[in-house]
Structure 1
Amino acid sequence: MSQFIPDSITQQSHTAEEIQAWLVFHLSELLRVKPDEIDVTEPLESYGLDSSQGMLLAVKAKNLLGFEFSPLLVWHYPTIELLSQRLAEESQALESETFEI
């Protein structure tokens, strides 16, 4: 994966695939590994992700998603695949609430 993934994407909600690509890109930078070395089905802690790095990832994700999420989600949804699915659900729910008046 050699494409650049921006910190912010202009649409309101994001798919699990978009979030997954963003997570892989930023996790690879954070852990100093190549994106193609990251398996989205492997537990994040198998890459040595610690709590402070999990918090940093959550803070950076706020720019993409437009909402804050607890860094604890990184441990409740321990793989990129599971975490991106959960965050996509939150993103879509937030967009639905925005349109309800």
Structure 2
Amino acid sequence: MSQSIPDSTVKRSYTAEEIQAWLVFHLSELLGVKPDEINVTEPLESYGLDSSQGMLLAIKAKKLLGFEFSPLLVWHYPTIELLSQRLAEESQDLESETFEI
């Protein structure tokens, strides 16, 4: 007899590209710029991102990704490209932990 895991307990991992698209969209809203004006290789500081906006971004990302991360990551990985790669690694690590027995 097999049991299926309820959808509410299944954690999904996200690719760097998916996270990057999400970050571009939310940063464009947060900073008041068009998504196509955001270069993922430019430092976030160049768009005027401040610490309170970094906190808001981390809170919103937690809802998407399902895990908390320190807003300091925004400064340790200062571009959307670097940050999305790091968050994708965390997302995949958490998904693999979910399936450990």
Both proteins in one fold, TM over 0.5: yes
TM-score, reference length from structure 2: 0.89
Could you give the per-residue CA deviations for residues 39-73 of structure 1, whole angstroms, max 9, x where no partner exists? 00000000000000000000000111000100000
Q: CA deviation at 1:85?
A: 0.1
Provide the residue aligned with 1:25 in structure 2.
Answer: 25
CA distance in 1, matches of 2:92, 2:24: 20
| Superposition deviation, residue 32 in structure 1 | 0.4
Cα distance in 1 between the residues matched to 2:94 and 2:11:
12
What does residue 58 of structure 1 align with? Answer: 58
CA RMSD of aligned residues (A): 1.1
Cα distance in 2 for residues equivalent to 1:47 and 1:33? 9
Distance change (3 Å), C-alpha of 1:65 and 1:98: same
Instruction: Work out which of the two has the higher radius of gyration on C-alpha atoms and give 1 or 2.
Output: 2
One-letter amino acid of the structure 2 residue matched with residue 97 of structure 1: E
| Counterpart secondary structure, 2:69 | coil
Provide closer, same or farther for how the CA distance between residues 35 and 11 of structure 1 changes in structure 2, counting only shifts above 3 A. farther
Which residues in structure 2 correspond to 1:6-85 (within 5 Å)? 12-85=12-85
Residue type at the aligned position of 1:56: L
Q: CA deviation at 1:11?
A: 6.2
Taking structure 1 as the reference length, the TM-score comes to 0.89
Provide structure 1 residue ranges, at least 5 long, that are not aligned to the other structure.
1-9
After TM superposition, which residue ranges in structure 1, 4 or more long, deviate above 4 angstroms? none
Identity, % of aligned positions: 90
2:59 partner SS: helix
1:94 alignment partner, SS class: helix
How many residue pairs were aligned? 92
Determine the C-alpha separation between the residues in 2 that align with 1:37 and 1:69: 26
1:18 is displaced (CA, Å) by 0.2
User: C-alpha displacement at 1:92, in angstroms?
Assistant: 0.1
